[in-house]
Amino acid sequence: MNKVIDLRSDTVTKPSAEMRKAMFDAEVGDDVYKEDPTVNELERFGAELLGKEAALFVSSGVMGNQICLNVLTNPGDEVICERNAHIFNYESGSPSALSGIQIYPVEGKLGVFTPEQAEEAIRPVSAYYMPRTKVIEVENTHNRASGAIHPIENIIALKNVAKKHNLFFHLDGARIWNASAATGISVAEYASHFDTISCCLSKGLGAPVGSLIAGSKEFIEKAFRIRKAWGGGMRQSGFLAAAGLFALKNNRERLKEDHEKTQMLAKTIAANPKLKVNMEAVQTNIIIFEPLTMSVEVAQTKCKEKGLLLSIGTATALRAVTHLDVSFEEIEKAKQILEEVFC
Ligand SMILES: Cc1ncc(COP(=O)(O)O)c(C=O)c1O
């Protein structure tokens, strides 16, 4: 029987033999005492790569974003982000539940909002009866916008707005590695514009668990305390950090391959009159597309019956994500399955 082609997410990858060996061989210690040499090395290496003073290994992207927001804000504060942002839609209401803050969502285009929109969303400092704007957040690449890249010029313009108003600037860089692989702009260049950044090791990079957050030393010291308070002190987590280190050192360049696979698949989708895709948005490893002749649930089931797993992106759209556990041959097969289902 043919292997199922799993394009639900880039989180479905399993550690390669080399990654497993690095995990097996990892030296470990108690990370809550800061004595795990492999976690310490991952945090050192990650901070250097991101051009920040310090970094912290956390269990997930959600934990990374939420620790950052918690450290940057006080209850009653507000965070400006794009309407389809992960922190607004997919983090279980954590900004309010964990930090007592609220989100001001701004309608963007391909996940991008303008400096003018950010200016408009900022509350006047004198308005004591309004929430206090504290953070502007950007997601790059943008999950719900089909993996679209946030243009660096707009990042700089938003940073200038944040600085002008004394606000923090946070990057949800879960897939910043994909943005960097696609544009050639280093992750350090991207990160240099932000006070804090959260980035995932367990998505396109293929590690089984974990994210890094990075920023100033002072910020990371505060984040360390919150991570512990939220149950994120992981003891001998060097086994997991070893996978993250392996991923950072070996799996960044190859993301371009995933982008090539995405284009191959997206072109087939674009050419099919029973499917709709905005090719302008397809810039990295995610395709959000709409079946026009059946519901997303029916389309998902029909694809599954033929061995292709897709996720439901929105009420009307499916999502396909390429990653390192899907080969070019399997993409050819996925194209064929789509042609059969939407014939
Ligand atoms: C943009 C973005 N941020 C954050 C996350 C959260 O990552 P995790 O699933 O590791 O909590 C995701 C996960 O898909 C994501 O796409």
Contact 293, 324 (CB under 8 A): no
Strands 5-6 and 275-277: unpaired
Cβ(302)–Cβ(341) below 8 Å: yes
DSSP-assigned states of every residue in 63-132:
HHHHHHHHHH--TTEEEEEETT-HHHHSSTTHHHHHHS-EEEEE--BTTB--HHHHHHHSPPTT-TTSPE
Over range 74-86, report the average pLDDT: 98
- In whole angstroms, give the CA distance from residue 13 to residue 208: 7
User: Which pLDDT does position 213 carry in this prediction?
Assistant: 98
pTM of the shown model: 0.97
Residue 117 buriedness (CB in 10 A; 0-12 / 13-18 / 19+) = middle
Mean predicted confidence (pLDDT) in 310-322: 95
Of ligand 1's atoms, which has the minimum distance to the CA of residue 139?
Answer: 1
Q: Give residue-wise pLDDT tens across range 236-268.
A: 999 999 999 999 999 999 999 999 999 999 999
Rounded Cα distance between 234 and 212, Å, is 14
Confidence at 3, pLDDT banded by 50, 70, 90: confident
- C-alpha 293 to ligand 1 mean position (Å): 30
Distance 328 CA to ligand 1 centre (A): 25
Ligand 1 centroid – CA 79 distance (Å): 18
Q: How confident is the model at residue 285 (pLDDT cuts 50, 70, 90)?
A: very high
Nearest protein CA to atom 4 of ligand 1, as residue: 61
Q: What's the pLDDT score for residue 55?
A: 98
pLDDT band at 1 (very low <50, low <70, confident <90, very high): low
User: What CA dihedral angle connects 241, 27, 32 and 65, to 10 degrees?
Assistant: -10
147-169 core/surface letters (b: 16 or more CB in 10 A; e: else): bbbbeeeebeebbebbeeeebbb
DSSP string, 22-41: HHHT-----GGGT--HHHHH
- Domains, the chain, ordered by start: 5-12+254-341 (3.90.1150.10), 17-250 (3.40.640.10)
Probe target for ligand 1 pocket from 91, 143, 171, 197, with the most ligand atoms within 8 Å of CB: 143
Of 80, 251, 232, 60, nearest to 169 by C-alpha is 80
Tokens describing residue 25 = 């061989």
Give buried/exposed letters for 212-236 (b at 16+ CB in 10 A, else e): bbbbeeebbebbbebbeebebebeb
- Using the mean position of ligand 1's atoms as its centre, give its distance from the Cα of residue 235 in Å: 23
- Could you read off the pLDDT of 199-234 as tens digits, one per residue? 999 999 999 999 999 999 999 999 999 999 999 999
Give nearest CA residue, ligand 1 atom 5: 61
- What is the distance between the terminal CA atoms of the chain, rounded to a whole angstrom? 24
Ligand 1 atom having least distance to the Cα of 202: 10
pLDDT for 12-57, tens place per residue?
Answer: 999 999 999 999 999 999 999 999 999 999 999 999 999 999 999 9
Residue 271 confidence (pLDDT) above 60? yes
Does residue 86 contact residue 144 with C-beta atoms inside 8 Å? Answer: yes
Mean per-residue pLDDT of the chain: 97
Mean local confidence (pLDDT), 283-309: 97
DSSP SS3 for 51: coil
CA neighbours closer than 13 Å in the CB half-sphere of residue 84: 18
* Residues within a 6 A CB radius of ligand 1: 60-62, 65, 86, 139, 143, 172, 174, 200, 202, 211
